[in-house]
Amino acid sequence: MPGVQDVLTLVVGSDHAAVALRGAVVAHLRSRGHTVNEEGPAVGESADYPDVARPIAERVARGELDRAVLICGTGQGMAMTANKVANVRAALVMETFSARMATQHNDARILCLGARVVGEGLALDCVDAWLDASFEGGRHARRVERIG
Ligand code: RB5
């Protein structure tokens, strides 16, 4: 369990392709002690991924959310949309090394997952690797600042 200073405010958003994995990620993050809201369609409803991803990414960019997890079928549409928002970085990952490095080197506050690509166990391991890492700063800070 995190200390009070480590309790993050997150949103987990998905389109219709990832409702089940969205629920699993929400439950996992809450079990870690974080404050988590869930956004996206209910089972049987449809949503276009840009409509879910853009407002969430804007809230991360404004600092209203510490982090977000965005999930669609492949994760591609969520990542493409979120990375159109200035001053926030979204990392699409399918294994834990990239998830960890997305925090350590890229300070990616948004993690994107593909529910049709990774199983639940690997997805939750990716979430943990992303959250448990720390941004290394230094030369990496210079580089991410240049992304804009
Ligand atoms: C929806 O069918 C699918 O296109 C979407 O979930 C995502 O994979 C797009 O990138």
The answer to whether residue 123 is domain-embedded is yes
- Give domain status of residue 75, yes or no: yes
Ligand 1 atom index nearest CA of 77: 10
- Digit-coded pLDDT (tens) for 128-143: 999 999 999 999 999 9
Rg (CA), the chain: 14
Lowest mean pLDDT among 3-7, 26-30, 36-40, 55-59: 3-7
Give the residue whose CA is nearest to atom 9 of ligand 1.
77
Residue 53 phi, psi dihedral angles, 5° rounding: -70, -45
Report yes or no on 2 lying in a domain. no
19 lies in a domain? yes
Ligand 1 contact via 73 beta carbon (within 6 Å): yes
Q: For 11-67, give the DSSP string.
A: EEEE-GGGHHHHHHHHHHHHHTT-EEEEESPPTT----HHHHHHHHHHHHHTTSSSE
Range of the domain at 27: 9-147
Q: Per the structure, how many domains does the chain have? A: 1
Residue 100 to residue 64: CA distance in whole angstroms: 23
Q: What is the H or E stretch that residue 97 is in?
A: helix 96-104
Enter the pTM of the model: 0.96
Length of the chain as a residue count: 148
4, part of any domain: no
Query: What would the pLDDT profile of 74-92 be if each residue is shown by its tens digit?
Result: 999 999 999 999 999 999 9
Q: pLDDT by residue (tens digit) across 7-23?
A: 999 999 999 999 999 99
Give me the pLDDT at residue 1, please: 46
Q: What is the CATH number of the domain that holds 85?
A: 3.40.1400.10
What confidence score (pLDDT) does residue 4 get? 56
Q: Does residue 125 form part of some domain? A: yes
- Using DSSP bridges, classify how beta strands 35-39 and 67-72 pair: parallel, antiparallel or unpaired: unpaired
User: Could you tell me if residue 24 is inside a domain?
Assistant: yes
Q: How far is the CA of 28 from the centre of ligand 1 (A)?
A: 23
pLDDT exceeds 70 at position 43:
yes
Asked if residue 3 is part of any domain, the answer here is: no
